[in-house]
Amino acid sequence: MRTARLFLVATAICAALLAPAYGGGHYGPDGLKPDAFGNRSGFKGHETALGTAVAAAIAEASPTPGDPRHDFSGREDELGKAMEPLIKALNNRKPYQHEPNDALIKAKLTSIQFAKDNDLMDEWITAQVMTQMPLMVRVGKLIDQTGDMELGMLGITERTACFYQLVMDYERDGDEIRWRSPYWNVLAATRRMGQHDLTEEWIHENYTVPLMKKQAEGMGLVAKISGWQEDGWISMRLVKPESVAATR
């Protein structure tokens, strides 16, 4: 009987605490309404108008007037549909400031966490590289034909959306590329909520470095990647294997 009473009391307390979130509390004078709960850009259904304005701004701001990469004539609706969720993301500031790569970062972190927890990091990295191998082999052949090492760097960075949609901040300097590890912003929130126990240093040492070294190997190259730095910046350059370089 006492257990039943405690259960009823606990149920009543939970109901009282949850009522504002799941009940009519949403619609009170100070409650959370759907418009505030959801993330809305204000441009849904107006993507073409948005794209038209953005296309004009891109053309005007182009540092190389007439550059076809900056001409979205006839693609205004496509551009607007790309911009609409970007506005949502940048206006999503709770519980932290979201960035355009937020969903990709979360998916990547959850996959890394699963592989770590189940001692599958090596298998998971190998599986990723194998799916990319047709591209790696093709780029490797182009390097052999042309002798242009830059193709290798581009093949695993600026050539592929797997890199440039993940990494928000990077720069090229000769044969070296530098980028800011992209996981810090989301990790700060997900670690606090108990969703992930990863650190950027662990990710760098156990995922980023092994993955990119295997990608480079697929092109017949060697990736020289910096150790973890507290500022989160990583540098990489690609070189030919010593045995190959010695024969040329």
What b/e readout covers 78-87, taking b as 16+ CB neighbours within 10 angstroms? ebbeebbeeb
Q: Tell me the pLDDT band of 30, cut-offs 50, 70 and 90.
A: low
Tokens of 37: 């709960």
pLDDT of residue 95: 87
Number of residues assigned to the chain: 248
pLDDT of residue 25: 35
Q: What is the pTM of this model?
A: 0.80
- Facing residues of 177 across strands? 172, 236
Q: Each residue of 39-61: pLDDT tens digit?
A: 888 899 999 999 999 999 999 99
Please give the backbone phi and psi of residue 192, each rounded to the nearest 5 degrees, phi first. Answer: -65, -35
Segment 62-91 shows an average pLDDT of 95
Residue type, 172: R
Segment 89-94 shows an average pLDDT of 89
Closest CA to 72 of 58, 86, 87: 58
- Name the one residue in this structure whose structure tokens are 């990790």: 187
Residue 243 or 135, more confident: 135
- Could you tell me what percent of the chain has a pLDDT over 70? 83
pLDDT of residue 28: 47
170 and 90 Cβ atoms separated by less than 8 Å: no
Q: Each residue of 176-198: pLDDT tens digit?
A: 999 999 999 999 999 999 999 99
Provide the residue ranges of all domains of the chain, joining segments of one domain with +: 20-92, 102-246
pLDDT of residue 31: 59
Beta-carbon contacts of residue 53 (< 8 Å; ≥ 6 apart): none
pLDDT at residue 73 greater than cutoff 70? yes
Q: Each residue of 186-236: pLDDT tens digit?
A: 999 999 999 999 999 999 999 999 999 999 999 999 999 999 999 999 999
- Cα–Cα distances in angstroms (integers) from residue 37 to residues 26, 42, 45, 133, in the given order: 9, 14, 20, 43
Mean pLDDT, all residues of the chain = 86
Residue 1 or 96, more confident: 96
pLDDT at residue 21 greater than cutoff 50? no
Q: Tell me the pLDDT band of 99, cut-offs 50, 70 and 90.
A: very high
Closest CA to 208 of 232, 185, 192: 232
pLDDT at residue 32 greater than cutoff 80? no
End-to-end CA distance of the chain: 87
Burial of 3 (0-12, 13-18, 19+ CB in 10 A): exposed
Q: Each residue of 144-172: pLDDT tens digit?
A: 999 998 999 999 999 888 899 999 999 99
Q: At what angle do helices 102-117 and 184-193 cross, to 10 degrees?
A: 60
Residue 224 in 3-state DSSP?
strand
Residue 37 or 212, more confident: 212
Closest CA to 101 of 49, 163, 159, 41: 163
Segment 102-123 shows an average pLDDT of 97
Please give the backbone phi and psi of residue 235, each rounded to the nearest 5 degrees, phi first. Answer: -125, 150
Q: Say how many C-beta atoms besides its own lie within 10 A of residue 125's C-beta.
A: 21
